[in-house]
Amino acid sequence: MSEPWPPAAFKARVDGVLSEFLAEEADHLRAIDALLDPVAEQLRCAAEHGKRLRAAFCYWGWRAAGQPDSDALVRAAASMELVHAAAMVHDDLIDDSPLRHNRPTAHVALRAPLAGRPRARSAARSLAMLVGDHLMALAGQLFATSGLPAAYLARARPLWAELARELVAGECLEILRTGSLPDTDASLKIIRYKTAKYTVEQPLLIGGLLAGAAPDLRAGFSAYGLPLGEAFQLRDDLLGLFGEPERTGKAGLDDIRGQRPTALLAAAWQAALPAQRVQLAEMLGRRDADDRHLTRFRDLLTSLDAPARVEEMIRSRVGEAARVLTALDMPPDARHALGVLARSATDRRH
C-alpha cells in the first residue's frame, strides 16, 4: 500500500494488527486452562471498537517528522489502542458502567461464568481488573516487539512511564473529586491527565520520538495536542449526557448517578442560582435515577446554558490547535491528516 490514508484504510491496518495480536494472546490463556475462556474472550474483544484516533496520532507524529510509511510503525502505533482498551476496562469498573459500545462491560459480562458462586459480582469485578491490567502490559509488549529498531524504541520508552503515571493520576483525581462541589479548574485538570494527554499529545510525541523529531516539532505537538485532547473529552462529556445511548453505546445516566466531576456539571453549577443548585444536588448521585430524572437534568443544564458554555470551550481549544498546526513545519500530507483528525476527534456525531 503506497498511501495509508484516508482514515478507513489506516483503521483497517490497525484493526488487523490488534485482532491478530489479541487472538493469539487469548489462545495462550486458553492453553493454560480451559476455565480461562471467559477471561480470554474479554481480552480478545477488548479493542474491537474505535476510530483508532490514538494510533493515527502516533502514526502522523512519525510522518510529520519526515519518516515514510512503515508496517512496524503501525504495530507500534496500535499499542496506543491497547492503552485505551486497558483504561476503558478500568474506567468502566471504577464507574460501575453497565454498557460500552452497546455491549455489557467486562465486569458485567464476566458475571455469567460465575453465576451461582459466592460473591459472584465481586469476583467478576476482580477478573475485569486483571483483564485491564493485562491489556496495559500487552500494550508495552506490542510496542517493544513492533519491529522498529531498538535505538528508535529507546528514544520513546521514557514517555511510556510518563503516560502511565499521568493516566493513573487523572483517574485517581477523578475518584478523589467525585461527590465534591463542582469546580471548573479541577474538572479541566482531570480531563487533561485522565484523557487528553494519552489521546492526542502523548501518541503524537511517541510517534515523533520514534522518528527522531526535533525539539521544536515536539513542542508543537504538545501545543497542538493538549487543547485538542481536552476538546475531545469535553465533547465526550456532552455526548455522555445529551447523546442517545443507542448511538453512544453508553448509559446516559452514568454521570448523574456517579456525580462525576465533569466540566459540564461545573459550568452548570457556576451559573446556577441557589435554588437551582438545590435542584442539581437533589438529582446528582441518585442511584435510582431514571429517564425522567435524565430529562429534568438535561432541561436544567440547558436552561443554565451549560451545554453552550462547553461548546464554546471546545471551539476555543480546537481553534487553538488549528492555529498551532498552521504554523508547524511539516510535510503537507501530515498537516492535512492532523487537520482531519482534529475534526474527527471533536465533531463526533455519535
pLDDT in tens, 297-316: 899 999 999 999 999 999 99
Query: Do the domain assignments include residue 117?
Result: yes
- pLDDT band for position 350 (cuts 50, 70, 90): very low
Has residue 192 been placed in a domain?
A: yes
Residue 89 covered by a domain: yes
Residue 4's pLDDT band (cuts 50, 70, 90): very low
Q: How confident is the model at residue 243 (pLDDT cuts 50, 70, 90)?
A: confident
Structural domain contains residue 104:
yes
Cα 325 to Cα 63: distance, rounded to the nearest angstrom: 14
Boundaries of domain holding 141 = 7-346
Residue 2 pLDDT greater than 50, yes or no: no
Total number of domains in the chain: 1
User: Cα–Cα distance between 209 and 221 in angstroms, integer?
Assistant: 11
In this predicted model, what pLDDT tens digit does every residue of 106-139 receive, in sequence order? 999 999 999 999 999 999 999 999 999 999 999 9
* Dist CA 254 CA 236 (whole Å): 13
What would the mean pLDDT of 273-284 be, rounded to a whole number? 90
Residue 219 in any domain: the answer is yes
Angle between helices 120-144 and 7-32 (to 10 degrees): 120
CATH code of 140's domain: 1.10.600.10
The more confident residue out of 198 and 350 is 198
Judged against a pLDDT cut of 90, whether residue 293 lies above it is answered with no
Alpha carbon separation from 193 to 60, 159, 164, 166, 252 (Å, rounded): 22, 14, 10, 5, 23
DSSP for residue 104: E
CA–CA dist 338, 136 (Å, integer): 26
Distance (Å, whole) CA 64 – CA 200: 14
Residue 2 forms part of a structural domain: no
